[in-house]
A and B are shown apart, each in its own frame.
Chain A
Amino acid sequence: MPIDVARYHGWNGTLRGPWYSALAVTRTTLRQVFRRKVLWVLLALGLFNFLLYFALIYASTQLPRVGDRLLERMDFVVRPDAQQRNGYLRFVEQQGLVVMMLLAFAGSVIIGADFRQRGVAFYLAHGLHPVHYLWGKWLAVAVLLALVTALPALVLFVEYGLFTTDWDYWWQNRAVVSSVLGYVLVMAVVLGVLLLALGTWLHKTVPIAITWTSLLVLSGAVAGQLTRSTGNRYWLLLNLWRNVRVVGRWFFGYYPRPEDRLLAPWAALILGGLTALCAALLWWQLVRLRRWD
């Protein structure tokens, strides 16, 4: 059979740099993730909050008297006030539980399955450097994160300006866009690299889920109780999830408690150290695998 009949032909377009190869890795990974029905269930859970705020914002724009009171009751501030309180920050933080569950599921599918079923060799055999492979996988995690946090938050922002027909709202509050993206970037960098490191070492869903929930849920419980019993606020730094929130809030300039501002540099240092450690573990695992291949 001629090779053209099999629809195999060489690439005729312009070849681009190796960093673009990561996009193919991202595309393939996302396709694998979206094939799972569980992901759609988790995305539906993540939409609950969004639909609630969407309806409230709609009500506040169409029935200002009732709607504004409803938004106030839900503590959703559409225009950041003097204390920098911000409804969009509140929304992104409320998505935390869904993010935790989504990533616990995605860890084994995004990267664990590649190691379990020896698919990494397939990727690396295509002239792909491990850095590009990891970059592609990280982008897939970032896209999933953005789907449940940044994207709905920005849709709410657009919705408010659209229904009030107050075009200046977008311009006056343009910082919301960069703040939301900055917050989600912190989440994506820290949680993404941590998840990839766990995926490369633990491979299967159960070990990843146990470690993931222990790191994010149990550390919070232990940190809270130690702070309460000893009165030493530095114990709060044990709470990984809280550290992400404290560093992410820097983009909004909103620190409701004075100790948050005090702990923010330490939290950033801890997250930086953890991310560097996870990146080193990732690199070690990939280099080891390459040597064996």
Chain B
Amino acid sequence: MIRFGYAWTALVSATFHRLWWSLHSLLLVFPAAAICLFVLRWRGRFPQQEPEQIVHTLSLFTEVVVIYMFASFLVPVVALSFGTTGLGGDREEGTLVFLLTRGIPRWSISLGKLAATLPLVVVFTVAAYWATCRLAGPAGQLAWQAFLPPLFWGAVAYGCFFHLLAALVRYPTIIAVVYALFVETLLGNLPGVIKQLSISFYIRSWIYRIGEPWGVEPPSTFLPISAAGCAAVLMSVAGASVLLSLWVLQRKEYIEKES
């Protein structure tokens, strides 16, 4: 058992270091920096001396930055870049076979990869959000406290879901890009209940519910659900994705293909 623990910890540590010191962690800084620069330029247009002005700016900040740039773009991109490379990177480089021949259960390999990727997804998202909120002034301080839970759980749900994709398919990054750009956009813009099939619906819905007292209103066709419901769905998506990814890697036959 102790040997298994050592092996598993070594796997988590190696994956974490490999992902942390990777080119894509550096590249993710650029979109986050672009959002920060945007906020710096944008905040000058909205004075925040009076409480009413702060509330007005908070409402705009939520709509433009939290929903449009974070929930719809940065959170899925960060999650797909780390979530799909935990397992997908090994598969792309042909090193997954060496991991699978080790004397530890296959499910623990999937769990170890997830244990290394999920903190990166969450820390990167939270750090970028913290920096953006700091730059936005008093309205940003309010937004930091209010909207951190939906973004945190959104990042966890996306991270676990993309990890499942990495266990399921050979090119998880492209499938994840198709999902994040095509499926989520398509479903998110359709009227009615079908948009409830997308993860971003629950993040946005949760944000709209929290932002109600500050006048953050969803579009008339959006039909948000309750905050508790959103939290439950995001946690369930994360949990189900983890269990399914463990099961898939445990059961799936590894086939080496010419890259």
Give chain B residues whose Cβ lies under 8 Å from the Cβ of A38. 171, 174-175
**Contact in complex: B178, A42 (CB < 8 Å):** yes
B24 within 8 A of A: yes
- Residue ID in chain A nearest B64 by CB atoms: A225
Give the one of B28, B88, B173 with max A CB within 10 A: B173
- Chain B interface residue count, CB cutoff 8 Å, equals 35
Contact of A117 with B259 at beta-carbon distance under 8 Å, contacts A205-B92, A209-B177, A214-B34 already known: yes
Contact B178 A204 (CB under 8 A): no
Which residues of chain B are near A113, meaning CB under 8 Å? 259
Is A105 touching B38 in the complex (CB atoms < 8 A)? Answer: no
Alpha-carbon gap, A206 to B84, bound state (A): 8
- A interface residues, how many (CB within 8 angstroms): 32
- The reply to whether the CB of A45 lies closer than 8 angstroms to some CB of chain B is yes
Report B-chain residues with C-beta under 8 Å of the C-beta of A207.
23-24, 27
Main secondary structure of the interface of B (DSSP, over half): helix
Per-position contact with B for A164-179: 1 when CB-CB < 8 Å, else 0? 0000000000000000
Give the residue of B23, B38, B182 whose beta carbon is less than 8 angstroms from that of A97.
Answer: B182
A202 part of interface (Cβ distance < 8 Å): yes
On chain B, the residues within 8 Å of A101 by CB distance are: 174, 177-178, 181-182
**1/0 per position for A107-123, CB-CB distance to B under 8 A?**
00000010001000000
Contact (Cβ within 8 A) A229 B42: yes
Chain A: minimal CB distance from B144 (Å): 20
Q: A105-B177, A210-B24 are in contact. Are A217 and B73 (CB under 8 A)?
A: yes
Shortest distance between the CB of A239 and any CB in chain B (Å): 13
B185–A210 touching, CB < 8 Å:
no
Scan B1-36; emit 1 where CB is below 8 A from any A CB, else 0: 000000000000000000000011001101100110
Cβ-defined partner of A206 (8 Å) among B24, B45, B73, B178:
B24
Q: How far is the CB of B15 from chain A (nearest CB, A)?
A: 14
- Report yes or no: A205 in contact with B171, Cβ–Cβ below 8 A: yes
**Chain A residues within 8 Å of B80, by CB:** 206, 209
**A193-223 contacts to B (CB < 8 Å):** 202, 204-207, 209-211, 213-214, 217-219, 221-222
Instruction: Give the complex CA separation of A98 and B178 in angstroms.
Output: 9
Interface residues of B (CB under 8 A from A): 23-24, 27-28, 30-31, 34-35, 38, 41-42, 45-46, 64, 68-69, 73, 77, 80-81, 84-85, 88-89, 92, 171, 173-175, 177-178, 181-182, 185, 259
Interface residues in chain A, defined as those with a beta carbon under 8 Å from any beta carbon in chain B: 36, 38, 41-42, 45, 97-98, 100-101, 104-105, 113, 117, 202, 204-207, 209-211, 213-214, 217-219, 221-222, 225-226, 229-230
